[in-house]
Structure 1
Amino acid sequence: MNFIQKKLIAILLLLVITSCGFHLRGMTEISFKTISLEGKELSLTKNLKKILNTNKVAIVSSTENPELRVELLSEESEKRILSLSGQGLVREFEIFYRVRYRIKTSDSEIWSQENIIETRKDFTYSDSNLIGKEEEERQLNEAMRIEAITSLFNQIQVIKK
């Protein structure tokens, strides 16, 4: 294959990719330009701030009259036994992650009712692979936190001024 043929194939591939509607994920449209994150400092607060900053939303204090106020009330993690083996040993766990929050827009006098985002995951357990299962649980907890952040961001996104 000579240089011209390679160049022609590259251009053809580029045309195919762009014609199918492929494009890089850009910023998400949010109707608010300023948001105040209030309440408790939760483990997801830092990542939520990053996502908001990436989407050109300024995070301000509540005294600066933000367009939207989000009060983070609490977060909790829970772990329950899901199933036992015939010998009474744990075989499966179910883990939960919950975030409670409420929202107030600048034109509203009262806060919204308390909202809850809950994620849950199941995972098998084995005493013989203790270190691996602890790492799996840690990764699942982190994935649930990211899922909760995404859900909260999506809920903020659909709120209209």
Structure 2
Amino acid sequence: MKKIIVSLLVLSLSACGWHLRGSATGEDKLAMTSPLDLVIATKDDHSPLINALRQSLPGYKINELTSATANTLTLNLSREVLDKRTAGVGSDALTSAYEIILRVDYSVSNAQGVITPRDTNARISRTYNYNVNNANGAAQEEELVLREMRRELANSILRRVKNLSVKAPATSAAP
């Protein structure tokens, strides 16, 4: 009887469209399995975001090239904006939490031209607690949160680029 109930719960869970984060289906699966050549164009070639992007490339089966060819996509990263603001104030009127907002403007192009609008951006925000009595620990926590945010932002951009690589030939073939 227990097995039947568990089986019904599993079937109803899969029937509602729920899936694990990162599990690809349909067109996403095709985009993730086919290799892609990509050129990363940016002003600061060694920024933390670019390093996070390069570390994530093998997981998405993306090869970085130094110059564009007919079958490559070019990722143009124009600027990274970091904004920090107070998210909470304690009873002592001191800041107890900060919100960090990280945004990067980018565009993706191929040999035919720009695929995405030039003002496309990826944005992520996080809140962390700040302890006035432990400023060193709070600074370390902020650095850890920023590193994690850059990694997530890099993965978000690479997912978008990978999906565009499947959709780009259809849009560029139209008259």
TM score, norm. by length of structure 1: 0.72
Q: 1:120 to 1:135 in 2, by over 3 A?
A: same
Paired residues of 1:92 and 1:124 also in contact (CA < 8 A): yes
Q: How does 1:8-157 map to 2 (within 5 A)?
A: 29=32, 31=34, 33-41=36-44, 42-53=47-58, 55-106=60-111, 108-110=112-114, 112-113=116-117, 114-157=119-162
Counterpart CA distance in 2 for 1:55 and 1:111 is 20
RMSD value, Cα: 2.4
Is the helix fraction higher in 1 or 2?
2
Unmatched 5+ residue regions in structure 2? 1-22, 24-28, 170-175
Query: Residue 86 of structure 1: SS of its match in structure 2?
Result: coil
* Number of corresponding residues: 135
Question: Which letter maps to 1:67?
Answer: T
Paired residues of 1:67 and 1:105 also in contact (CA < 8 A): yes
Question: Which letter maps to 2:116?
Answer: S
1:59-118 deviation digits (Å, cap 9, x = unpaired): 223454452111011112111011222332111111111111001123x33352121111
Counterpart CA distance in 1 for 2:67 and 2:33 is 19
Q: 1:90 to 1:72 in 2, by over 3 A?
A: same
Paired residues of 2:105 and 2:121 also in contact (CA < 8 A): yes
Q: 1:32 to 1:111 in 2, by over 3 A?
A: same
Taking every aligned residue pair, what percent have the same amino acid on both sides?
Answer: 20
TM score, norm. by length of structure 2: 0.67
Q: Which is greater in Rg?
A: 1
